Amino acid sequence: MTKKILVITDASPFDGQRIRESLDMALIFAAIDQEVSWLFTGASVLALTDGNHPTSLGIKDFFKQLKTLEIYDVDSLFVCQGALQKYQLTTEKLNVDVSALCNSAQQELISKHDHVVKL
Protein backbone atom coordinates (compact mmCIF):
# COMPACT_ATOMS: atom_id res chain seq x y z
CA MET A 1 0.00 0.00 0.00
CA THR A 2 1.36 3.38 -1.01
CA LYS A 3 1.93 5.84 1.82
CA LYS A 4 2.34 9.59 1.58
CA ILE A 5 5.69 10.53 3.11
CA LEU A 6 6.94 14.04 3.77
CA VAL A 7 10.64 14.65 4.33
CA ILE A 8 11.42 17.93 6.11
CA THR A 9 14.90 19.41 6.08
CA ASP A 10 16.02 22.51 7.92
CA ALA A 11 19.82 22.14 8.00
CA SER A 12 22.19 24.39 6.11
CA PRO A 13 23.72 22.80 3.00
CA PHE A 14 26.94 21.75 4.73
CA ASP A 15 25.63 20.99 8.23
CA GLY A 16 26.87 17.49 8.89
CA GLN A 17 25.53 16.06 5.63
CA ARG A 18 21.92 16.21 6.88
CA ILE A 19 20.62 17.30 3.49
CA ARG A 20 22.50 14.42 1.89
CA GLU A 21 20.85 12.05 4.37
CA SER A 22 17.45 13.57 3.57
CA LEU A 23 18.12 13.09 -0.15
CA ASP A 24 19.04 9.46 0.40
CA MET A 25 15.92 8.90 2.47
CA ALA A 26 13.65 10.52 -0.13
CA LEU A 27 15.15 8.36 -2.87
CA ILE A 28 14.78 5.18 -0.80
CA PHE A 29 11.11 5.89 -0.12
CA ALA A 30 10.54 6.68 -3.80
CA ALA A 31 12.30 3.45 -4.81
CA ILE A 32 9.78 1.43 -2.82
CA ASP A 33 6.87 3.18 -4.55
CA GLN A 34 5.91 5.58 -1.79
CA GLU A 35 4.54 9.03 -2.61
CA VAL A 36 7.32 11.34 -1.45
CA SER A 37 7.21 15.09 -0.90
CA TRP A 38 10.05 17.24 0.45
CA LEU A 39 9.81 20.48 2.42
CA PHE A 40 12.89 22.69 2.73
CA THR A 41 12.77 25.06 5.70
CA GLY A 42 15.29 27.33 7.36
CA ALA A 43 18.80 27.36 5.93
CA SER A 44 18.13 24.23 3.86
CA VAL A 45 16.66 26.45 1.10
CA LEU A 46 20.26 27.48 0.37
CA ALA A 47 20.91 23.96 -0.93
CA LEU A 48 18.63 24.80 -3.85
CA THR A 49 20.69 27.77 -5.05
CA ASP A 50 23.66 28.04 -7.37
CA GLY A 51 27.07 28.55 -5.85
CA ASN A 52 27.33 25.48 -3.63
CA HIS A 53 30.81 24.05 -4.03
CA PRO A 54 31.09 21.09 -1.67
CA THR A 55 34.14 19.68 -3.45
CA SER A 56 36.18 22.60 -2.10
CA LEU A 57 35.35 21.20 1.35
CA GLY A 58 36.21 17.65 0.37
CA ILE A 59 32.54 16.63 0.11
CA LYS A 60 31.00 14.86 -2.88
CA ASP A 61 28.75 17.18 -4.90
CA PHE A 62 25.26 15.83 -4.36
CA PHE A 63 23.53 19.15 -5.05
CA LYS A 64 23.26 18.40 -8.76
CA GLN A 65 21.27 15.29 -7.82
CA LEU A 66 18.61 17.55 -6.30
CA LYS A 67 17.87 18.76 -9.84
CA THR A 68 16.98 15.22 -10.93
CA LEU A 69 14.51 14.35 -8.18
CA GLU A 70 11.51 14.20 -10.51
CA ILE A 71 13.19 11.37 -12.43
CA TYR A 72 12.92 9.39 -9.19
CA ASP A 73 9.28 10.39 -8.69
CA VAL A 74 10.05 12.93 -5.98
CA ASP A 75 8.27 15.74 -7.73
CA SER A 76 6.48 17.53 -4.90
CA LEU A 77 9.04 19.97 -3.56
CA PHE A 78 8.16 22.80 -1.21
CA VAL A 79 10.02 25.63 0.48
CA CYS A 80 9.20 27.77 3.47
CA GLN A 81 8.18 31.27 2.33
CA GLY A 82 9.71 32.76 5.47
CA ALA A 83 13.07 31.11 4.75
CA LEU A 84 13.04 32.50 1.22
CA GLN A 85 12.43 35.97 2.61
CA LYS A 86 15.11 35.58 5.27
CA TYR A 87 17.73 34.70 2.63
CA GLN A 88 16.35 37.21 0.10
CA LEU A 89 15.45 34.50 -2.39
CA THR A 90 12.53 33.81 -4.68
CA THR A 91 11.43 30.52 -6.18
CA GLU A 92 12.76 31.76 -9.54
CA LYS A 93 16.29 31.90 -8.06
CA LEU A 94 16.23 28.22 -7.08
CA ASN A 95 17.60 25.33 -9.15
CA VAL A 96 14.44 23.22 -8.92
CA ASP A 97 10.73 23.82 -9.32
CA VAL A 98 9.21 24.33 -5.90
CA SER A 99 6.09 25.74 -4.32
CA ALA A 100 6.57 28.29 -1.55
CA LEU A 101 4.34 27.80 1.47
CA CYS A 102 3.46 30.06 4.38
CA ASN A 103 3.38 28.54 7.88
CA SER A 104 -0.31 27.61 7.78
CA ALA A 105 0.11 25.95 4.37
CA GLN A 106 3.07 23.99 5.74
CA GLN A 107 0.91 22.72 8.61
CA GLU A 108 -1.77 21.70 6.13
CA LEU A 109 0.85 19.90 4.01
CA ILE A 110 2.09 18.00 7.07
CA SER A 111 -1.43 16.95 8.00
CA LYS A 112 -1.99 15.44 4.54
CA HIS A 113 0.86 12.93 4.88
CA ASP A 114 0.82 9.50 6.50
CA HIS A 115 4.42 9.83 7.75
CA VAL A 116 6.66 12.84 8.36
CA VAL A 117 10.42 12.44 8.63
CA LYS A 118 12.52 15.38 9.83
CA LEU A 119 16.28 15.30 9.62
Q: Are 95 and 79 in contact (CB under 8 A)?
A: no
Beta strand extents in the chain (DSSP E only): 4-9, 35-40, 76-80, 99-101, 115-118
pLDDT of res. 52: 57
Please name the amino acid found at residue 63: F
pLDDT of res. 57: 47
**pTM of the predicted protein model:** 0.88
pLDDT of res. 70: 81
Residue spans of the chain under pLDDT 50:
53, 56-57
Dist CA 102 CA 1 (whole Å): 31
CATH number for domain 4-118, candidates 3.40.1260.10, 3.40.50.10610, 3.40.50.1100, 3.40.50.2300? 3.40.1260.10
pLDDT of res. 16: 60
Radius of gyration (Cα) for the chain, nearest Å? Answer: 14
By CB atoms closer than 10 A (0-12, 13-18, 19+), residue 27 is middle
pLDDT of res. 116: 97
